Amino acid sequence: FYGQSEWAIHNQVFIALIVFCLHVLVQIETKSKRKTLQISRYLRAALWKPAHIWL
């Protein structure tokens, strides 16, 4: 964990859960057979690409 306070740790856990849920939604919407980690790697690689890749 990056934070030292209890509130910071709660925030980090909630953010991790939100990110996981978003990855699962991407997996469902794209009907992908790939694992969550593979989707995460693809999204991270495409993060700074031009907008037309996301459409």
Looking at residue 12, what is its pLDDT?
A: 93
For 32, the enclosing helix (H) or strand (E) is none
Q: For residue 42, what are the contacts with CB-CB under 8 A and spacing of at least 6?
A: 34
Q: Where are the alpha helices (DSSP H) in 1-55?
A: 6-29, 36-46
Distance CA(4)–CA(21), nearest Å, equals 25
Looking at residue 50, what is its pLDDT?
A: 82
Distance CA(55)–CA(52), nearest Å, equals 5
Going by the DSSP 8-state scheme, the letter that residue 34 receives in this structure is S
Q: Where do the domains of the chain lie?
A: 6-48
0.75 exceeded by the pTM? no
pLDDT one-digit tens code per residue, 1-53: 677 899 999 999 999 999 899 888 888 888 888 888 888 888 888 888 887 76
Looking at residue 1, what is its pLDDT?
A: 64
